[in-house]
Amino acid sequence: MTDETRNPTHEAEPPDEEKVGELLRRHRALYHDPPRTPREAIWSRIEAERRGAGGIGRGAHVIPFAPRNWWLGTLAVAAVLALGIALGRMSLRQEAERQGAAGPPVASVETPAAGRESPREPDTGARPEAELEPGAEIAAPEQLAVAPEAAEEPEAAAPRPSGRRQAAPAPAPRAEEPAVQAPAVADPEQLYRLASQQMLGQAEALLVQYQTDRAADRMDPAIARWARDVLTSTRLLLDSPAADDPGMRDLLEDLELVLTQIVQRTGETDLLDDEMIDRTIEDRDLMPRLRGAIPVGVGAI
C-alpha cells in the first residue's frame, strides 16, 4: 500500500487491490449499467451515414449549426467589405471636394495616429487576460469595430497603425477638422461592423464544425476550403478600420492563426495538427470570445 492511499481516519482497513476488483465486479450494475443495445436504430444511422443521406445521422444533435452554404456567408462578408471600401473612397472624394471648395485641403489618409482622441494601446502582440472574459472589452457588440456614435465623429476613420497590411484602403478620410462631417450617403463604419459580425458568425460556425468533426474522429474535407475563405475575410478585416479596436484586432489575429492551422492541416487525420489546433482554440479562449463578440441574432449566413 502506498502512503497516499493510507488514511488513518478510515474506519475500515482499506481493501487490497484484488478486493477492489472484486468489489467492482460485484457492483458493476451500479456504474453506467448499459441498457439493451438499440441495434436497429444504430444500424439505420450507420446506413444513412454511409449512404451520405442525412450526413451523420442522429449524431447531428451534437452539431449546433453547420451551414452547408457557408460560401454564401463569406461572399456576403466580402461584398459588405467591398461596399464599405467603395463608400469610404466615395466619402474621401466628397470631402476632398468639399474641403477644396471651403478651405484648406483635407488631411491625407496617411496622417499619423497622433491626432486620435482615443489612442490605441501599443500592440505588443499579447492579449490581455481581461479579454478572455465574454462581456469584457471585445465581448460587447457595441465595442466591436467602431461604435455607432464613433462613426459620426470626425476621427472615426483613423488610419491603421503602421505595420498593418495596407491592402484595403481606409473607408473614410482622416479628417482633422471638426467641421468636416461624414457624408450622409451611408455609414462605412456600420458596414464594417456588419461585415465583422457576419465573419465572426462564419468563424464560429466553422470552429464548431471543426470541433464536432474532431470529436467524431472524422473531418469533412471541405472544411479546409471553408477555412480558407473565412481566413480571407479575416485578413480583409484585419486590414480594415474594423480592426482599429484593439480587442477586435486581437480576436481577428487569433482567428487568423487558428484558421491558418486548419487550412494547413494535412488531408489525412493528423493528430499532431489537430492537437495544435485544439490547443490554440482552447488556450486563446476563442469560442467564448467569438460568442461574446457576436450580438444575439447574428450568426453564420
Partner 1 sequence: MSERELIERARKGDRAAEREIYDAHVDRVFRLAYRMCGRADLAEDFVQETFVKAFGALDKFRGDAALSTWLHSIATRVVLNGLRSVKRHERRAEPLEAADREAGGATEPPDPDLKRRLTAALDGLKDEYRMVVVMHDMEGYTHDEIGAALGIAEGSSKARLSRARAMLRAELAPYAMEWMR
Residue 174: closest CA among 108, 95, 84: 108
CA distance 189 to 82: 12
H helices present in the chain, as ranges: 17-26, 39-51, 70-102, 148-151, 188-215, 222-238, 246-264, 271-283, 286-293
Residue 2 touches partner 1, criterion: CB under 8 A: yes
Q: ∠ at Cα 201 (248, 129), nearest 5°? A: 35
Return the number of the residue (193 or 265) whose C-beta is nearest partner 1. Answer: 265
Q: Which of 32, 105, 114, 135 binds partner 1 (CB under 8 A)?
A: 32
Residue 248: closest CA among 186, 178, 164: 164
Residue 54 touches partner 1, criterion: CB under 8 A: no
Residue 287 touches partner 1, criterion: CB under 8 A: yes
**Residues touching partner 1, count (CB under 8 A):** 51
Residue 270 touches partner 1, criterion: CB under 8 A: no
Q: Which of 216, 264, 266, 279 binds partner 1 (CB under 8 A)?
A: 216
Distance of CA 216 to the CA centre of its chain: 22
Return the number of the residue (27 or 53) whose C-beta is nearest partner 1. Answer: 27
Neighbour tally for 188: CB within 10 Å: 28
What does residue 112 show for φ and ψ, rounded to 5 degrees? -65, 165
Q: Which of 54, 175, 288, 297 binds partner 1 (CB under 8 A)?
A: 288
Binding segment for partner 1 (CB under 8 A), chosen from 22-30, 81-89, 93-101, 189-197, is 22-30
Residue 130 touches partner 1, criterion: CB under 8 A: no
Positions touching partner 1 (CB under 8 A) are 1-2, 4-5, 7, 10-17, 19-25, 27-28, 30-32, 34-35, 37-39, 41-43, 45-46, 49-50, 57-59, 61-62, 211, 214-218, 282, 287-288
